[in-house]
Amino acid sequence: MQLALARKLEHFTRLSADDKAELGRLAGDRVRRVAAREDVIMEGDQPRFINLILEGWACRYKHLEDGRRQIISFFVPGDLCDLNVFILKQMDHSIGTITDVRLAEISRNSFEDAMLRFPRVMQALWWDSLVGAAIQREWTVGLGQRDASERIAHLICELFIRMRSVGLTDGPRCLLPLTQSELADATGLSHVHVNRTLKDLRAEGLIELERRTLTIPDLKALMQRALFNPNYLHLGREGRHLDANAG
Amino acid sequence: MQLALARKLEHFTRLSADDKAELGRLAGDRVRRVAAREDVIMEGDQPRFINLILEGWACRYKHLEDGRRQIISFFVPGDLCDLNVFILKQMDHSIGTITDVRLAEISRNSFEDAMLRFPRVMQALWWDSLVGAAIQREWTVGLGQRDASERIAHLICELFIRMRSVGLTDGPRCLLPLTQSELADATGLSHVHVNRTLKDLRAEGLIELERRTLTIPDLKALMQRALFNPNYLHLGREGRHLDANAG
DNA sequence: CGTCCCCTTGAATGAAGTCAATACGCGTGG
DNA sequence: CCACGCGTATTGACTTCATTCAAGGGGACG
C-alpha cells in the first residue's frame, strides 16, 4: 500500500521513485501508536516533532477557560501537523486522537536533512502546508457565514474529498469515525442540533451515515447544498512544472 | 521611524543592524499604493508577490456564491501576506484594503535571495507566519464558541495587542479604522447586532470608540470579558536563542 | 444484566437576524 | 450658505435559528 502522504502530494506534482523512498524513510523514522481519544500533544507543551498521521483520525482542538471546546481541524492519514513547529516554544493548542492512530514522529534533523536533498518533495510539503492554511480559512468562512446544514454538509464534502485524495474512499463511501459531539465541536453547534441537522440531510437524500460509514449518493448535490467550492484544496496539480518524469 | 515588521520580529528574536537593513531593502523593493476599499489581489488571480503592509489596514476576505462575505483576517502595518504564496497558482481568497494602504511587493527572487543570506531573519519570518496561522485558529475558536460580545471583545484585544507590538498604540488608545459592517463581516454577526454589542461593551466601560479611535481603559478587564489568552500570539521572545548581540 | 456512551426527540428558552425607520456627519455642488 | 446625497450608526419590533433541558432508546462490553 502506498503512503497516503505521497499519494496526496501527487495532486501537486509528480514525485520520483527517490522522492517517494525519502518520504517512506521519513514516515518510518519513529512510529508511535496512540489510542483513541488521547492527546498526542497538549497546549503548553514544547513541540519536538513533526507528526505525520499514518493511520486513523486525529484533530487539533482548543479549550476555553470555561470548558467550551472547539475542534480546529481534522487530521486524516497523510496529514502533517505543522512543518515548522519547532520554531515555537509552546503549543497554543492540543492535538488529540479521534480513533486509534499510528503516526510518525519526524525529528527536526531528519526533516531539515530531507529538505536539502529533495527540493521537489520540499516544495510539495510546502504546498501541503499552504493547503492546510487554506482549509483553516475555509473553516473560518463556514463558521462565520454558513448555517448549520451548510456547515455540516461542507465539512462532509471536505473530509470526503480529502479522504479520496489519499485513496481512502470506496466509490461514494468512506469512513467517517466522528461522533455527533465531535461534529458539534468542529462546527460550533450543539450536539442536539447536529443530530437534527444530520436527520434533515438524510431526509433530503444527500447523505447516508451509519456505523461510522458515510455514503454520498450524489456528491455534486451535496456540494451545491453546502456552497462547496473545492478550489481551496488546490488539487489541480498546480505544481506540474516540477513533475518528475518518473512513473 | 522604524519598520513595523522589524519591530514585530523583535518580539521573537533580536535582529542585527544588517538584518534590519535587509528588511528595509525588501520593504523598499517595490512600493505600491492602494486606495481604501479596493482589492490588492482577487480570488482566482495568480499570486506574484509577497505583500508586506507598510501603512494602513487591509484584510483577507472571501465571498460565498450568494454574496455572503466573511473577512478571514486583518492586516495591519508589518503584516506579510503568505510567505510561500507563489507555490500556488490561484488565490483562493481576495485581499482588499480597509483604509488607504502603502505596501511592498516582494518578488520571489528577492525573497529567496534574502532567505539564503539572512537565516535569522528567515527564522523570524517563519515565526511570523506561524503566528499568522495561530491567529487563524483562534478566529476559528472564536467563531465556533464565543458569543457576540466575547467575539468582538476578543477581536479588539487582538488588534490592539498587534498594533502595540508594532508600536502603533498610544497608551490605551489606538486606531481602529473598521466600520461596524466590517466588524460584522469579520465576526460573522449582523451589523445591527455588532452595533448593539458595541453599545453594551461601551456601557460596561470596557471600550470607548469614536471617530476610528479605540480606547481601552482597562485591557485586563477586556481580556477577561473576551476570555482572551495572548499565548497564541507568541510574543514572548521564543526565539531568543537566536538573538543577534546587536543593540 | 447493568452500565456507559452515543443517538434521538420534544418542549421551552434565548441569542442573533431581519426589516424598517431614523439620525448623523461630511463632502459636493447649486 | 444651504440642500442634497451617501455612507455609517442607532434603535425598535418581530422572527428565526439554534441552544438548553429533559427524557428515552439502542448497542457494545464487562
For residue A82, the model assigns a pLDDT of 87
For residue B37, the model assigns a pLDDT of 96
For residue B1, the model assigns a pLDDT of 55
Residue type at B84 in one-letter notation: N
Q: Across chain B, what does the average pLDDT equal?
A: 96
**What is the CB-side half-sphere exposure of residue A132 using CA atoms within 13 A?**
28
- Does B126 contact chain A (CB < 8 Å)? yes
Q: What is the CA radius of gyration of chain A?
A: 18
A216: which DSSP letter? Answer: -
For residue A2, the model assigns a pLDDT of 74
For residue A19, the model assigns a pLDDT of 96
Contact (CB<8Å) B85/A188: no
Condensed to tens digits (0 to 9), the pLDDT of residues A25-60 reads 999 989 999 999 999 999 999 999 999 999 999 999
CA atoms of B1 and A180, how far apart (whole Å)? 53
CA atoms of A31 and B171, how far apart (whole Å)? 51
- Does B70 contact chain A (CB < 8 Å)? yes
Question: Which run of H or of E encompasses B10?
Answer: none
% residues pLDDT > 90 (chain B): 94
Name the residue with cell 465539512.
A155
Contact (CB<8Å) B137/A136: yes
Name the 3-class secondary structure at A61.
strand
B134 → chain A, closest CA residue: A92
* Strand ranges of the sheet holding B208-210, from the earlier edge strand across to the other edge: B169-170, B173-175, B213-215, B208-210
Residue B99: count of CB within 10 angstroms of its CB: 16
Shortest-distance nucleotide from A68 CA to C1':
D19
A227 to A134, A150, B60, B66, B213: CA distances (angstroms): 16, 7, 19, 9, 37
Q: Is the pLDDT of residue B226 over 80?
A: yes
A88 → chain B, closest CA residue: B238
Tell me the DSSP string of B90-155: S-SSEEEESS-EEEEEEEHHHHHHHHHH-HHHHHHHHHHHHHHHHHHHHHHHHHHH--HHHHHHHH
Over residues B54-73, the mean pLDDT reads 97
Q: Is the pLDDT of residue B10 over 80?
A: yes
Please report the residues numbered 188 through 217 in chain A whose beta carbons come closer than 8 angstroms to any beta carbon of chain B. 188
User: Angle of helix A148-165 relative to helix A191-203, nearest 10 degrees?
Assistant: 80
Condensed to tens digits (0 to 9), the pLDDT of residues B155-191 reads 999 999 999 999 999 999 999 999 999 999 999 999 9
Over residues B67-92, the mean pLDDT reads 95
For residue A85, the model assigns a pLDDT of 82
Q: What angle do CA A12, A15, A17 make, to 5 degrees?
A: 165
A62 → chain B, closest CA residue: B141
What are the backbone angles phi and psi of residue B216, rounded to the nearest 5°?
-120, 100
Name the 3-class secondary structure at B42.
coil
* Strand ranges of the sheet holding A39-41, from the earlier edge strand across to the other edge: A39-41, A94-97, A58-63, A69-75
Beta bridge partners of B150: none
How many residues can be counted in chain B? Answer: 247
**Residue B21 neighbours by CB under 8 Å, 6+ apart:** none
For residue B2, the model assigns a pLDDT of 74
Bases of strand C lying below 7 A from some protein CB: 5-11, 15-20, 26
Q: Which candidate in B11, B73, B92, B194 is best for mutational testing of the A interface (most A CBs within 10 A)? A: B92
CA atoms of A179 and A190, how far apart (whole Å)? 12
CB-based burial of residue A43 (10 Å sphere; 0-12 exposed, 13-18 middle, 19+ buried)? Answer: middle
Name the residue with cell 499565548.
B231
CB A49 within 8 A of CB B199: no
Q: Is the pLDDT of residue B247 over 70?
A: no
**Residue B220 neighbours by CB under 8 Å, 6+ apart:** none
- Does B141 contact chain A (CB < 8 Å)? yes
CA atoms of B138 and B133, how far apart (whole Å)? 9
CB A120 within 8 A of CB A244: yes
- Chain B residues lying within 8 Å of A231, measured CB to CB: 43, 90, 92
For residue A246, the model assigns a pLDDT of 58
The sign of the torsion formed by the CA atoms of A51, A52, A53, A58 equals positive
CB-based burial of residue A160 (10 Å sphere; 0-12 exposed, 13-18 middle, 19+ buried)? Answer: buried
- Chain A residues lying within 8 Å of B141, measured CB to CB: 62, 64, 70, 72
Condensed to tens digits (0 to 9), the pLDDT of residues B116-153 reads 999 999 999 999 999 999 999 999 999 999 999 999 99
For residue A1, the model assigns a pLDDT of 55
CA atoms of A97 and A77, how far apart (whole Å)? 12
Query: Which segments in chain A show pLDDT lower than 70?
Result: 1, 246-247
For residue B246, the model assigns a pLDDT of 60
Residue type at B42 in one-letter notation: M
For residue B29, the model assigns a pLDDT of 83
Over residues B59-78, the mean pLDDT reads 97
The sign of the torsion formed by the CA atoms of A217, A223, A226, A232 equals positive
Residues with CB under 7 A from strand D: A 147-149, 188-190, 192-193, 196; B 179-181, 191-192, 195-196, 198-199
CB A102 within 8 A of CB A4: no
How much is the pTM?
A: 0.97
CB B211 within 8 A of CB B142: no
